[in-house]
């Protein structure tokens, strides 16, 4: 059995906000998308060998004014771990782009880790073995 890549899909509340985060801040590129430029409902993002899909939770105009709190809370159970050889440099770059996050810490098991959340509350961890 050959497997070429893994491409998780996250359900997002506001695609425009999510794209600002993943493209403008984290440096992903749009590989494919579905929908009109101002109303994209699905997108496949890549950054090097990384793959990630985003899909809207609600089709317009059915989207509520605000995200459902219970749904957002459940997103905290999902974390994307990204191998990042220079976690400190990633921290400084992200802070330089206006992202608010705590500095990296070394976990008891020897991984330097920088944790943050995307606009939908999904966890993201940049990490590397020290």
Asked, for residue 2, whether it belongs to a domain, the answer is no
Number of folded domains that form the chain: 1
pLDDT score of 2 more than 90: yes
Asked, for residue 1, whether it belongs to a domain, the answer is no
Asked, for residue 3, whether it belongs to a domain, the answer is no
Query: What CATH number did the domain enclosing 62 receive?
Result: 3.10.180.10
Tokens matching residue 121? 């509350």
Residues 31-66 have pLDDT tens digits of 999 987 778 999 999 999 999 999 998 876 777 888
* Better-scored residue on pLDDT, 65 or 14: 14
- Within the chain, strands assigned E span 9-12, 29-36, 39-47, 50-56, 79-83, 105-106, 111-117, 123-129
High-pLDDT (> 70) share of the chain, %: 99
Residues 91-106 have pLDDT tens digits of 999 999 999 999 999 9
Enclosing domain of residue 101: 9-129
């Amino acid at each position: 059995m050959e497997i070429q890549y893994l491409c998780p899909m996250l359900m997002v509340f506001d695609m425009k906000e999510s794209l600002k985060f993943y493209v403008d801040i984290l440096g992903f590129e749009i590989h494919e998308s579905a929908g009109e430029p101002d109303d994209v409902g699905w997108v496949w993002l890549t950054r090097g060998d990384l793959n990630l899909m985003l899909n809207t939770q609600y089709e317009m105009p059915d989207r509520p004014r605000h995200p459902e709190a219970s749904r957002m809370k459940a997103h905290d159970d999902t974390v994307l771990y990204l191998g990042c050889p220079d976690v400190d440099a990633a921290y400084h770059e992200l802070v330089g782009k206006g992202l608010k996050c705590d500095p990296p810490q070394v976990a008891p098991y020897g991984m330097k880790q920088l944790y943050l959340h995307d606009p939908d509350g999904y966890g993201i961890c940049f990490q590397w073995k020290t």
